[in-house]
Amino acid sequence: MYNVWRPRKRPSKKILDSKDKLFGATLANLDLAGLNFQNAKLAKANLSHTNLSNANLIETDFTEANLLEVDLTEALDFTKANLSGANFDNANIIDARLTGVDL
């Protein structure tokens, strides 16, 4: 296995600007692993069955988002994210940082 011993670095490439709003967007069944969503507005978005492992989700707005069976593994960072009303049923969450999260 390649680089098992080396921790992954936080993604640096920004795919969304803080002005981007994906309110109610359908992003289900996608592989979005390792991407940078910092400050993204994903309120009421459908992210069910999506791979968000090792993604940067700092200050992301997931208000009432559907995160059913989402893969949220590998040192996930939700610092200051808004998770109020989000559906995490059967989500795979391992080693997540939840500092300052709004539940």
Residue ranges per structural domain of the chain: 32-103
Q: CA 28, CA 3: separation in Å to the nearest integer?
A: 29
Q: CA 23, CA 1: separation in Å to the nearest integer?
A: 38
Contacting residues for 77 by C-beta, under 8 A, at least 6 apart = 10, 56, 57, 58, 96, 97
- Using 50, 70 and 90 to split pLDDT, how confident is the model at 95? confident
Give me Rg for the CA atoms of the chain.
13
Q: Is residue 99 over pLDDT 90?
A: yes
Contacting residues for 18 by C-beta, under 8 A, at least 6 apart = 38, 39, 40
Q: What's the whole-model pTM score? A: 0.79
Average of per-residue pLDDT values in the chain: 85
Architecture of the 32-103 domain: 3 Solenoid (2.160)
Q: What is the mean pLDDT of residues 45-54?
A: 96
